A and B are shown apart, each in its own frame.
Chain A
Amino acid sequence: MSGQIDLEVLGVTKSFDSGESNLIALRDVDFEVYQGEFQCIVGPSGCGKSTLLRIMAGLTKPTSGLIKFRGTEIEKPHPKISMVFQTFALLPWKTVFENVELGLKLRGIPKLERHRISKEHIDLVGLKGFENSYPKQLSGGMRQRVGFARALATDPEVVLLDEPFSALDELTANSLRQEVLRLWRDMGKTFVMVTHSISEAVELAKRIVVLSSRPAKVKDIVGIEMPWPRKRASPDFESYESRVFSLLKEDLNKLYDMENEEA
C-alpha cells in the first residue's frame, strides 16, 4: 500500500475508570488510513471499535497515544472529518433540509450557497422531494441517506462510518451499501467504517483492520485484492471471509477460555 497518509492512529490506549475497576478498552492501537481508501475496522463485539472511531473523530480523548490527520495531531473534531452514525443521529426537530444544512450553517457559509450545496447533496442521495419532511416521516433507509447527505455536505476528506447499516433491514442495507460504494468511488474521499459484519467488510473494504478482543490491539491488516462490485458467492470472496473469520475466531476462543477460567 502506498500513497499519502490521511489518518495515523499512534499507540492509542483507552481505559475507562468506573470506580473500583479500571477497564482497558484499547491498548497500543497502531495503524494508518491512506488517502482515498475504503478501510473497515472489524473486531469482536464489545472490543471498543466504536470508541476507537470516536477517538479518530476527535470526539473522545485517548488515555494515551494520539491521532494525526495529515501530520497534525487532532484533539477535537476536525472540519475535514465527518461521521455517519448507527442511530442516524438526525435532529428530529429539523427537516431533512435543515439537518443536511446544519454543518454548513455552523461553518458560517452564506445562506444562498448553503441552500445550493444542501439541495445538491439531498439529490445525490436520492431524496429529492423530501426536503421538508421531518425524520419521523421517513423510513430507516431514507433517514440514513439523510445521514450520508449531512456527512458529505461539508465536503470532508475523511468520512467515518459507525456501523451505518446495522439498524437497517438486510434488503435496505444492501441497496444502501451499493450506493455508498458508488459515492466513495465517485467522490474520491477516504472512508473508514466500523462494522461487526465480516462479509460487509470484505464486500466494501480495500483493507480490513482486524482488532483483537478486549483490550483491543491490531491483530492483522488484511488487504482485499478484488475489483468492485464484489460478488459474495465467489470463491475469492469466501476465502477472504474465512481468513478474517479465523483471525477473529482465535480471539473468541481465547475470550471463552478466559471466561471459563474465571468461572
Chain B
Amino acid sequence: MKDEREIVSFIKGSHAIRLTDRRLAIDLTKGIRASLESLVEGHESLRHVVGWALRFAYPEDIPIDRIVEAHVTPEGAAEVLRKTPIGLKRVRVPELTGEDAHRLVSEIARLKRRKSSQILHKSVMKLLKVEFTRNEWIVVILGFMLLWEAIAQGPILPERLLPAPSKIAAVMFNRAIEIIDMVLLSYRNLVLGIILATFMAIPLAFTSALKGKIDFTLSPMVMLLYSLPDLALLPIIVYWTGHGALGAILMCAIVSFSPIYFTVREGAKAIPIDYFEAVRILGGNRLALLKELVFPGSWPSIVTGFRLAFSYCWQIVLAIEMIALVPGIGLFIEKAVMAQNPELDTAFAGMFAVGLFVLLTDRMFFLKLEDRIGRWRG
C-alpha cells in the first residue's frame, strides 16, 4: 500500500508542474521519460507500470511512447484511465508483484536521489527562471506605475494634467458597471461589423482562391479598398448614417473586410492540390470540398484574419464614437475629457478598461483557437 502511494506521489508531483505551465511540463516529461527509460531497462514488469503510469499522468502529451507502445495496449491504458478518476489518492497497480513493487519504489527513491535530482534541479531552475521573468514583468509595470504615481502626486505636474494611477484605479472600481457596459456596447458594434464583413469576405476569398479568373477580377478592387485611408471615410459614413450605432458597425465591416479577405484567400490558396484530388476521389462533391477541405484547411488563416480585424476595429470603433457621438467607451472617454471640469482619471480608466478587455478576449479566445490548431499543424 505504501509502495503504491510513493509511485503516485512521484507521478503526481510532476503532474502538478504540468498544470502550472504546459511547455515546461513537456520539457520535464522528456527529462523524466529519459531517466525512467534507463531506470526500467531490464525490468519488464517495471516497464509495464511506468508505461501506464506515464500514460495516466500525461494522456495527451504522450500519444506514441516507446514504453507505452511496447507494453501497455491502448485499451489497457484507457481502462486504467477510466478506472482512475483524476485526483484520486490511491491507484491500483495491475500485475505488480510485491517484489517488483519493492524494487520499483527503491529504484525510484534512488532515482530521486541521483539522476532525478539533476532533472529536478534543472526543472526547478527553469521554473524559477519563468517565475523570475514573470516577476520582472510585474516589477517593470509596478515600477512604471509608482513613477507615474510619484510624478502625478509630486509638484512637477498639476493633478488636472496627469491623474495618479491610484485615482484611475479608484474610478475603474467605483464606476466599474458603467465602464463595463460601455466597453460591451462598443464591443457589440465591433463584433456585428466583423460578422457582417465575414459573411462577405470569406465566401469571396474562397471563390478567389479557387477560381483564378475571379481572383484577377476581384482582388484589385479589394486592394483599392484596402489602400483607402479608413479614417477619411469616417465623416462620410457619419454623413450617411447619422449619429447611431449603424455607422460604427458599417465602419468596422469596411475596415475588417480586406484583412479577412486577403488572409483567408492566401490560406485557401495554400491548400495542396493533392488534398483536393484525394477528397474528390473519395466521392466529395463541391459542398463536401468546402466543408471537409477548404474551410478546415484555411481555418488557421481565418483565425489570423479575425485577429487582425479585431485589432484594427478597436481603433476605428473608438474613433467613430468620438466623432459621431455614438454611445460606447470611446464617447465615454471623449465626454470625460470634454467636460467642464475635465476628468482625465475617468478617461484613463476607460482606456485601461479597453486594454484589459482586449487582452482578456485575446487570451481567452484566440490563444485557445491557436492552441487547437497547433495540435495538427506540423
Residues of chain A whose beta carbon lies under 8 Å from any beta carbon of chain B: 54, 57-59, 76-77, 79, 81-83, 85, 87, 89-94, 102-103, 106-107, 128-130, 132-137, 150, 154
Q: How far is the CA of A136 from the CA of B63 in the complex (A)?
A: 12
Contacts of A58 in B (CB 8 A): 281
A126 to chain B, nearest CB (A): 13
Q: Flag whether B94 is at the interface (Cβ < 8 A).
A: no
Residues of chain B whose beta carbon lies under 8 Å from any beta carbon of chain A: 63-64, 69, 73-74, 272, 274-275, 277-284, 288, 292-293, 296-297, 299, 375-378
Known: A83-B281, A136-B377. A89 touches B64 (CB 8 A): no
Pair A92/B280 contact, Cβ less than 8 Å:
no
Q: List 11 A-B contacts (CB under 8 A).
A: A58-B281, A59-B280, A87-B272, A89-B274, A93-B297, A103-B283, A106-B282, A130-B64, A133-B64, A136-B376, A154-B283
Q: How far is the CA of A81 from the CA of B378 in the complex (A)?
A: 30
A contact patch SS = loop
Known: A91-B292, A134-B376. A107 touches B281 (CB 8 A): no
- Give how many A-B residue pairs fall within 8 Å (CB-CB): 78
Q: How far is the CA of A89 from the CA of B281 in the complex (A)?
A: 12
Contacts of B377 in A (CB 8 A): 92-93, 136
- Nearest A residue (CB) for B277: A59
Q: How far is the CA of A107 from the CA of B284 in the complex (A)?
A: 8
Q: How far is the CA of A188 from the CA of B168 in the complex (A)?
A: 79
A199 to chain B, nearest CB (A): 26
Contacts of A94 in B (CB 8 A): 296, 376
Partner of B299, one of A77, A93, A130, A150: A93
A191 to chain B, nearest CB (A): 15
- Nearest A residue (CB) for B271: A91
Contacts of A132 in B (CB 8 A): 63
Known: A91-B293, A93-B297. A129 touches B281 (CB 8 A): no
- Nearest A residue (CB) for B378: A136
Pair B376/A93 contact, Cβ less than 8 Å:
yes
Pair B278/A91 contact, Cβ less than 8 Å:
yes
